[in-house]
Protein backbone atom coordinates (compact mmCIF):
# COMPACT_ATOMS: atom_id res chain seq x y z
CA UNK A 1 0.00 0.00 0.00
CA UNK A 2 1.28 3.46 -0.90
CA UNK A 3 2.36 5.61 2.01
CA UNK A 4 -0.25 8.12 3.15
CA UNK A 5 -3.23 6.61 1.33
CA UNK A 6 -5.46 3.62 2.01
CA UNK A 7 -8.61 1.95 0.72
CA UNK A 8 -11.56 2.31 3.10
CA UNK A 9 -15.36 2.39 2.75
CA UNK A 10 -15.34 2.30 -1.04
CA UNK A 11 -12.75 5.03 -1.62
CA UNK A 12 -9.06 5.88 -1.32
CA UNK A 13 -8.60 7.98 1.82
CA UNK A 14 -5.75 10.22 2.81
CA UNK A 15 -4.88 12.94 5.29
CA UNK A 16 -2.14 15.52 5.41
CA UNK A 17 -1.08 18.35 7.72
CA UNK A 18 -0.13 21.62 6.02
CA UNK A 19 0.64 24.88 7.84
CA UNK A 20 -0.43 23.23 11.09
CA UNK A 21 -3.90 22.29 9.81
CA UNK A 22 -4.94 18.70 9.17
CA UNK A 23 -6.89 17.98 5.98
CA UNK A 24 -8.80 14.85 4.98
CA UNK A 25 -9.86 13.75 1.51
CA UNK A 26 -11.21 10.70 -0.28
CA UNK A 27 -10.87 9.78 -3.96
CA UNK A 28 -13.45 7.53 -5.60
CA UNK A 29 -11.36 5.39 -7.90
CA UNK A 30 -11.50 1.61 -8.30
CA UNK A 31 -9.89 -0.65 -5.70
CA UNK A 32 -7.21 -1.80 -8.12
CA UNK A 33 -3.62 -1.03 -9.05
CA UNK A 34 -4.81 1.38 -11.74
CA UNK A 35 -7.23 3.01 -9.29
CA UNK A 36 -4.47 3.42 -6.73
CA UNK A 37 -2.23 5.15 -9.28
CA UNK A 38 -5.04 7.59 -10.11
CA UNK A 39 -5.67 8.23 -6.42
CA UNK A 40 -1.96 8.90 -5.79
CA UNK A 41 -1.87 11.37 -8.68
CA UNK A 42 -5.02 13.10 -7.45
CA UNK A 43 -3.57 13.25 -3.94
CA UNK A 44 -0.39 14.91 -5.16
CA UNK A 45 -2.42 17.50 -7.09
CA UNK A 46 -4.61 18.14 -4.05
CA UNK A 47 -1.59 18.60 -1.75
CA UNK A 48 -0.06 20.98 -4.28
CA UNK A 49 -3.18 23.15 -4.20
CA UNK A 50 -3.29 23.11 -0.43
CA UNK A 51 0.37 24.06 -0.17
CA UNK A 52 -0.11 27.08 -2.42
CA UNK A 53 -3.38 28.16 -0.84
CA UNK A 54 -5.44 27.37 -3.92
CA UNK A 55 -8.00 25.29 -2.00
CA UNK A 56 -10.54 27.80 -0.69
CA UNK A 57 -13.66 27.13 1.32
CA UNK A 58 -16.82 29.21 1.61
CA UNK A 59 -17.04 29.71 5.37
CA UNK A 60 -20.56 31.14 5.03
CA UNK A 61 -22.18 27.82 4.05
CA UNK A 62 -23.75 26.18 7.11
CA UNK A 63 -24.14 22.45 7.61
CA UNK A 64 -27.93 22.71 7.44
CA UNK A 65 -27.84 24.04 3.86
CA UNK A 66 -25.65 21.19 2.66
CA UNK A 67 -27.83 18.67 4.51
CA UNK A 68 -30.93 19.97 2.72
CA UNK A 69 -29.14 19.83 -0.65
CA UNK A 70 -28.17 16.24 0.10
CA UNK A 71 -31.78 15.30 0.88
CA UNK A 72 -32.95 17.00 -2.32
CA UNK A 73 -30.78 14.77 -4.50
CA UNK A 74 -32.89 12.99 -7.12
CA UNK A 75 -31.07 9.66 -6.76
CA UNK A 76 -32.41 9.06 -3.24
CA UNK A 77 -35.54 6.92 -3.07
CA UNK A 78 -38.46 8.60 -1.25
CA UNK A 79 -38.35 6.06 1.59
CA UNK A 80 -34.58 6.51 1.96
CA UNK A 81 -34.90 10.29 1.89
CA UNK A 82 -37.50 10.19 4.66
CA UNK A 83 -35.34 7.91 6.82
CA UNK A 84 -32.26 10.08 6.33
CA UNK A 85 -34.23 13.22 7.12
CA UNK A 86 -35.43 11.71 10.39
CA UNK A 87 -31.89 10.68 11.33
CA UNK A 88 -30.41 14.09 10.52
CA UNK A 89 -33.12 15.86 12.52
CA UNK A 90 -32.84 13.48 15.46
CA UNK A 91 -29.05 13.43 15.82
CA UNK A 92 -27.33 16.25 13.95
CA UNK A 93 -29.38 19.29 13.01
CA UNK A 94 -29.91 20.71 16.51
CA UNK A 95 -26.17 21.07 17.04
CA UNK A 96 -24.73 21.40 13.53
CA UNK A 97 -27.40 23.13 11.41
CA UNK A 98 -26.01 26.67 11.74
CA UNK A 99 -22.38 25.64 12.07
CA UNK A 100 -20.16 26.41 9.03
CA UNK A 101 -19.63 23.06 7.40
CA UNK A 102 -15.84 23.38 7.23
CA UNK A 103 -15.60 23.84 11.02
CA UNK A 104 -17.17 20.46 11.91
CA UNK A 105 -14.53 18.16 13.37
CA UNK A 106 -14.54 14.44 14.22
CA UNK A 107 -14.53 15.44 17.91
CA UNK A 108 -17.88 17.22 17.43
CA UNK A 109 -19.38 14.11 15.88
CA UNK A 110 -18.08 11.85 18.66
CA UNK A 111 -19.46 14.21 21.31
CA UNK A 112 -22.92 14.24 19.72
CA UNK A 113 -22.97 10.45 19.40
CA UNK A 114 -21.91 9.99 23.03
CA UNK A 115 -24.88 12.09 24.15
CA UNK A 116 -27.30 9.51 22.74
CA UNK A 117 -27.84 6.36 24.80
CA UNK A 118 -28.35 4.00 21.86
CA UNK A 119 -26.66 0.88 20.51
CA UNK A 120 -23.49 0.88 18.42
CA UNK A 121 -25.56 -0.30 15.46
CA UNK A 122 -27.92 2.67 15.80
CA UNK A 123 -24.96 5.05 16.04
CA UNK A 124 -23.45 3.47 12.95
CA UNK A 125 -26.73 3.99 11.09
CA UNK A 126 -26.82 7.62 12.26
CA UNK A 127 -23.47 8.20 10.54
CA UNK A 128 -24.70 7.02 7.12
CA UNK A 129 -26.56 10.18 6.02
CA UNK A 130 -24.04 12.36 7.85
CA UNK A 131 -21.24 10.87 5.75
CA UNK A 132 -23.34 11.56 2.65
CA UNK A 133 -23.75 15.24 3.62
CA UNK A 134 -20.01 15.73 3.98
CA UNK A 135 -19.30 13.79 0.77
CA UNK A 136 -21.52 16.31 -1.01
CA UNK A 137 -19.64 19.15 0.66
CA UNK A 138 -16.40 17.68 -0.71
CA UNK A 139 -17.89 17.48 -4.21
CA UNK A 140 -18.89 21.15 -3.90
CA UNK A 141 -15.30 21.92 -2.81
CA UNK A 142 -16.49 23.33 0.51
CA UNK A 143 -14.24 21.00 2.54
CA UNK A 144 -11.19 18.90 1.81
CA UNK A 145 -12.12 15.72 3.62
CA UNK A 146 -14.92 13.90 5.39
CA UNK A 147 -14.69 14.18 9.22
CA UNK A 148 -16.95 11.12 9.61
CA UNK A 149 -14.12 8.94 8.28
CA UNK A 150 -12.08 9.69 11.40
CA UNK A 151 -14.86 8.53 13.74
CA UNK A 152 -14.32 4.99 14.99
CA UNK A 153 -17.08 2.93 16.57
CA UNK A 154 -16.88 -0.42 18.26
CA UNK A 155 -17.76 -3.30 16.00
CA UNK A 156 -21.41 -4.27 16.27
CA UNK A 157 -21.86 -7.73 17.69
CA UNK A 158 -24.89 -9.33 16.09
CA UNK A 159 -27.06 -11.21 18.57
CA UNK A 160 -27.28 -14.94 17.91
CA UNK A 161 -30.11 -16.05 15.64
CA UNK A 162 -32.72 -17.91 17.66
CA UNK A 163 -35.08 -19.79 15.38
CA UNK A 164 -38.34 -21.52 16.23
CA UNK A 165 -38.10 -25.28 16.66
CA UNK A 166 -40.63 -27.36 14.67
CA UNK A 167 -42.65 -27.89 17.87
CA UNK A 168 -42.64 -24.18 18.71
CA UNK A 169 -43.63 -23.30 15.17
CA UNK A 170 -46.65 -25.62 15.19
CA UNK A 171 -47.66 -24.53 18.68
CA UNK A 172 -47.55 -20.88 17.65
CA UNK A 173 -49.56 -21.43 14.47
CA UNK A 174 -52.18 -23.35 16.45
CA UNK A 175 -52.90 -20.20 18.48
CA UNK A 176 -53.50 -18.06 15.38
CA UNK A 177 -56.61 -17.87 13.29
CA UNK A 178 -58.12 -16.13 10.27
CA UNK A 179 -55.90 -13.83 8.23
CA UNK A 180 -53.23 -13.83 10.97
CA UNK A 181 -52.85 -17.60 10.63
CA UNK A 182 -52.74 -17.23 6.84
CA UNK A 183 -50.17 -14.41 7.05
CA UNK A 184 -47.74 -16.21 9.36
CA UNK A 185 -48.11 -19.53 7.56
CA UNK A 186 -46.84 -17.77 4.43
CA UNK A 187 -44.03 -16.21 6.49
CA UNK A 188 -42.95 -19.55 7.96
CA UNK A 189 -43.30 -21.54 4.73
CA UNK A 190 -41.52 -19.07 2.43
CA UNK A 191 -39.33 -16.79 4.57
CA UNK A 192 -40.83 -13.79 2.77
CA UNK A 193 -40.49 -10.36 4.35
CA UNK A 194 -43.54 -8.61 5.84
CA UNK A 195 -43.67 -6.00 3.07
CA UNK A 196 -43.45 -8.70 0.40
CA UNK A 197 -46.38 -10.61 1.92
CA UNK A 198 -48.50 -7.46 2.15
CA UNK A 199 -47.72 -6.71 -1.50
CA UNK A 200 -48.94 -10.11 -2.71
CA UNK A 201 -51.74 -10.34 -5.25
CA UNK A 202 -53.58 -13.54 -6.12
CA UNK A 203 -52.29 -13.26 -9.69
CA UNK A 204 -48.74 -13.71 -8.31
CA UNK A 205 -49.54 -17.22 -7.10
CA UNK A 206 -49.38 -20.31 -9.30
CA UNK A 207 -49.39 -23.99 -8.41
CA UNK A 208 -45.72 -24.18 -7.52
CA UNK A 209 -44.43 -20.63 -7.10
CA UNK A 210 -45.10 -17.14 -5.83
CA UNK A 211 -43.65 -14.40 -8.05
CA UNK A 212 -42.59 -11.32 -6.09
CA UNK A 213 -42.73 -8.09 -8.08
CA UNK A 214 -43.79 -5.54 -5.45
CA UNK A 215 -43.67 -4.85 -1.71
CA UNK A 216 -45.39 -2.62 0.81
CA UNK A 217 -42.83 -0.07 2.01
CA UNK A 218 -43.84 2.58 4.55
CA UNK A 219 -47.52 2.07 3.73
CA UNK A 220 -46.93 2.40 0.00
CA UNK A 221 -46.73 -0.23 -2.69
CA UNK A 222 -43.34 -0.17 -4.37
CA UNK A 223 -42.46 -2.12 -7.51
CA UNK A 224 -39.29 -4.14 -7.05
CA UNK A 225 -36.35 -3.52 -9.35
CA UNK A 226 -35.97 -6.13 -12.06
CA UNK A 227 -32.91 -7.50 -10.30
CA UNK A 228 -34.97 -7.98 -7.12
CA UNK A 229 -37.92 -9.79 -8.72
CA UNK A 230 -37.85 -13.44 -7.71
CA UNK A 231 -39.89 -16.64 -7.63
CA UNK A 232 -40.42 -18.42 -4.31
CA UNK A 233 -41.15 -22.13 -4.14
CA UNK A 234 -44.57 -23.04 -2.67
CA UNK A 235 -44.43 -26.00 -0.27
CA UNK A 236 -47.14 -28.65 -0.39
CA UNK A 237 -48.53 -27.42 2.91
CA UNK A 238 -48.78 -23.84 1.70
CA UNK A 239 -50.14 -24.97 -1.68
CA UNK A 240 -53.17 -26.56 0.00
CA UNK A 241 -53.85 -23.48 2.11
CA UNK A 242 -53.51 -21.07 -0.81
CA UNK A 243 -55.65 -23.01 -3.25
CA UNK A 244 -58.39 -23.72 -0.70
CA UNK A 245 -58.61 -20.11 0.43
CA UNK A 246 -62.12 -18.62 0.05
CA UNK A 247 -60.77 -15.52 -1.69
CA UNK A 248 -58.61 -17.52 -4.10
CA UNK A 249 -60.46 -16.34 -7.21
CA UNK A 250 -61.32 -12.86 -6.00
CA UNK A 251 -58.21 -11.33 -7.57
CA UNK A 252 -56.38 -8.26 -6.30
CA UNK A 253 -54.42 -8.08 -3.07
CA UNK A 254 -54.33 -11.17 -0.89
CA UNK A 255 -54.50 -9.26 2.41
CA UNK A 256 -57.24 -6.65 2.68
CA UNK A 257 -58.64 -4.63 5.57
CA UNK A 258 -62.23 -4.28 6.79
CA UNK A 259 -62.89 -1.67 4.09
CA UNK A 260 -61.77 -4.19 1.45
CA UNK A 261 -58.67 -2.09 0.76
CA UNK A 262 -55.08 -3.45 0.68
CA UNK A 263 -53.51 -3.73 4.16
CA UNK A 264 -50.95 -0.95 4.41
CA UNK A 265 -49.20 -2.40 7.46
CA UNK A 266 -49.06 -5.53 9.61
CA UNK A 267 -50.20 -3.91 12.88
CA UNK A 268 -53.21 -6.19 13.35
CA UNK A 269 -51.14 -9.27 12.54
CA UNK A 270 -48.44 -8.18 14.97
CA UNK A 271 -50.98 -7.92 17.80
CA UNK A 272 -52.18 -11.46 17.07
CA UNK A 273 -48.53 -12.58 16.99
CA UNK A 274 -47.78 -11.13 20.43
CA UNK A 275 -50.92 -12.69 21.87
CA UNK A 276 -50.04 -16.13 20.44
CA UNK A 277 -46.53 -15.96 21.91
CA UNK A 278 -47.95 -15.20 25.34
CA UNK A 279 -50.44 -18.05 25.06
CA UNK A 280 -47.56 -20.39 24.19
CA UNK A 281 -45.49 -18.92 27.05
CA UNK A 282 -42.65 -18.19 24.66
CA UNK A 283 -40.11 -15.41 25.03
CA UNK A 284 -40.92 -12.59 22.63
CA UNK A 285 -39.34 -12.91 19.21
CA UNK A 286 -39.94 -10.66 16.24
CA UNK A 287 -42.05 -11.99 13.40
CA UNK A 288 -38.86 -11.70 11.31
CA UNK A 289 -37.78 -14.87 13.13
CA UNK A 290 -40.09 -16.74 10.72
CA UNK A 291 -37.57 -15.86 8.02
CA UNK A 292 -34.64 -17.14 10.08
CA UNK A 293 -36.59 -20.31 10.82
CA UNK A 294 -37.20 -20.96 7.14
CA UNK A 295 -33.52 -20.43 6.36
CA UNK A 296 -32.42 -22.90 9.03
CA UNK A 297 -35.02 -25.45 7.88
CA UNK A 298 -33.73 -25.30 4.33
CA UNK A 299 -30.10 -25.71 5.39
CA UNK A 300 -30.84 -28.56 7.78
CA UNK A 301 -32.75 -30.31 5.00
CA UNK A 302 -29.63 -30.15 2.83
CA UNK A 303 -30.71 -27.34 0.48
CA UNK A 304 -27.74 -25.72 -1.26
CA UNK A 305 -26.93 -22.28 0.23
CA UNK A 306 -27.06 -20.61 -3.22
CA UNK A 307 -30.63 -21.85 -3.80
CA UNK A 308 -31.72 -20.99 -0.25
CA UNK A 309 -30.29 -17.48 -0.65
CA UNK A 310 -32.21 -17.01 -3.89
CA UNK A 311 -35.44 -18.11 -2.20
CA UNK A 312 -34.98 -15.49 0.51
CA UNK A 313 -33.88 -12.72 -1.83
CA UNK A 314 -30.36 -12.59 -0.39
CA UNK A 315 -27.08 -12.53 -2.21
CA UNK A 316 -25.19 -15.75 -1.53
CA UNK A 317 -22.51 -13.78 0.30
CA UNK A 318 -25.02 -12.12 2.62
CA UNK A 319 -26.75 -15.44 3.23
CA UNK A 320 -23.48 -17.15 4.13
CA UNK A 321 -22.52 -14.33 6.50
CA UNK A 322 -25.89 -14.45 8.25
CA UNK A 323 -26.35 -18.21 8.53
CA UNK A 324 -22.76 -19.44 8.63
CA UNK A 325 -23.30 -21.20 11.97
CA UNK A 326 -26.18 -23.25 10.62
CA UNK A 327 -24.26 -24.17 7.48
CA UNK A 328 -21.29 -25.23 9.59
CA UNK A 329 -23.49 -27.42 11.76
CA UNK A 330 -25.03 -29.19 8.78
CA UNK A 331 -21.66 -29.78 7.12
CA UNK A 332 -20.16 -31.10 10.36
CA UNK A 333 -22.87 -33.75 10.63
CA UNK A 334 -22.40 -34.69 6.97
CA UNK A 335 -18.67 -35.13 7.50
CA UNK A 336 -19.21 -37.29 10.59
CA UNK A 337 -21.58 -39.51 8.59
CA UNK A 338 -18.91 -39.90 5.94
CA UNK A 339 -16.37 -40.89 8.59
CA UNK A 340 -18.78 -43.46 9.99
CA UNK A 341 -19.05 -45.06 6.55
CA UNK A 342 -15.29 -45.59 6.18
Buried b (16+ CB within 10 A) or exposed e, 83-117: bbbebbeebbbeebeeebbbebebebbbebbeeee
CATH 1.10.443.10 residue window(s) in the chain: 166-339
Q: Give 132-179 pLDDT, tens digit per residue.
A: 999 988 888 788 789 998 898 877 666 777 899 999 999 999 999 999
Q: What is the pTM of this model?
A: 0.60
pLDDT digits (tens, 9 = 90+) for 205-247: 988 899 999 998 888 888 876 677 899 999 888 998 988 888 8
- The predicted-structure confidence for 284-340, as pLDDT tens digits, reads as follows 999 999 999 999 999 888 888 899 999 999 888 888 888 877 665 555 555 556 555
Per the CB < 8 A criterion, the answer to whether 70 and 129 are in contact is yes
Ranges for all domains in the chain classified under CATH 1.10.150.130 = 63-150
pLDDT tens, position by position, 171-193: 999 999 999 999 999 999 999 99
Output 125-131 pairs: Cβ under 8 A, ≥24 positions apart. 125/87, 126/87, 126/90, 126/91, 126/92, 127/151, 127/153, 128/84, 128/87, 129/70, 129/84, 129/87, 129/88, 130/87, 130/88, 130/91, 130/92, 131/9
Fold of 63-150: DNA polymerase; domain 1 (1.10.150)
Coil, helix or strand for 240?
helix
| DSSP letter for each residue of 248-277 | TTT-SBSSB-TTSSB----HHHHHHHHHHH
Phi/psi zone of residue 20: left (φ > 0), alpha (ψ -120 to 50 degrees), beta? left
Q: Is the pLDDT of residue 33 over 70?
A: yes
Cite the DSSP H helix spans in the chain: 33-51, 63-71, 78-87, 93-96, 106-114, 120-139, 166-174, 178-190, 194-198, 236-243, 267-279, 289-300, 305-312, 316-340
Note the CATH architecture for domain 166-339.
Answer: Orthogonal Bundle (1.10)
- Whole-number Å distance between alpha carbons of 263 and 186: 16
Among residues 312, 298, 335, the alpha carbon closest in space to that of 163 is found at 298
Average pLDDT in the 259-274 region?
92
Amino acid sequence: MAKGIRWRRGAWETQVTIHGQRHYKSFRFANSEAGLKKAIAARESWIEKLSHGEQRYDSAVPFGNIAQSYLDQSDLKPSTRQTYKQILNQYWMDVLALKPVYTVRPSHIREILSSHDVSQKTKRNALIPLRGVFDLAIEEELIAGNPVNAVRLKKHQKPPIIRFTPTEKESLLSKLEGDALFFYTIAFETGMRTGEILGLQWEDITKDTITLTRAMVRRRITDLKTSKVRSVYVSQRLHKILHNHPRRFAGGYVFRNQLDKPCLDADNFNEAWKKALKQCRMTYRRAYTCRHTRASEMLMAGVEPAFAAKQLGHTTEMFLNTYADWISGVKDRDQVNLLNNI
